[in-house]
Amino acid sequence: MLIPDAIVKKKILSDLGFKKGKIRISIGDRTTERLIELGLRPDIAVIDGIERRSRRPLLVSEFVFAQREKGKIVEAKNPAGSITDDAIKTLLTSLQWVLSKKGNKSLVKIKGEEDLLALPMIAFCPVGSIVLYGQPREGLVFVLVNRKTKQFSKNFLNSMGIRGF
């Protein structure tokens, strides 16, 4: 579901079930910042320091994740327009960390581009999770993970030659 920029508010995201999501995942620097600004902390944040193909100051505070006793920062390489094995392994490690103990958080720093990484996150995370990513100049895409969205993501990844999940 696309939430237009003008109406992205804490209440809207809460009403859609953000706080009830089993695992809450943000993909993208601006998406992550926006959630944090609204007081909604993702369990997993995937960022790359790039917005609309341009380097940008990394405003997502690593402090938010690293200084928490349950925070973990990991890195992976993932060139633009791809989904690498390194990125998949790192996303799975992050997901396992977050699932291992209530309150665990993870920041995934991508060297390259994170744009396509919503697909494996939807495919891997448990039903009932929430994945959010930005649609440039449009708004925020809110995905409630269910069997249908998981299967769609798996099929799309298979069509890209990515298998094994």
Query: Is 162:83 a contact under the CB 8 Å cutoff?
Result: yes
Determine the length of the chain.
165
Q: What are the tens digits of pLDDT across the range 110-158?
A: 998 898 999 999 999 999 999 999 998 899 999 999 999 999 999 999 9
Q: What are the tens digits of pLDDT across the range 12-71?
A: 999 999 988 899 999 998 899 889 888 888 999 999 876 666 666 655 555 455 545 567
Q: Where are the domains of the chain?
A: 2-159
Indicate the pTM of the whole model: 0.89
Query: Is 76:89 a contact under the CB 8 Å cutoff?
Result: yes
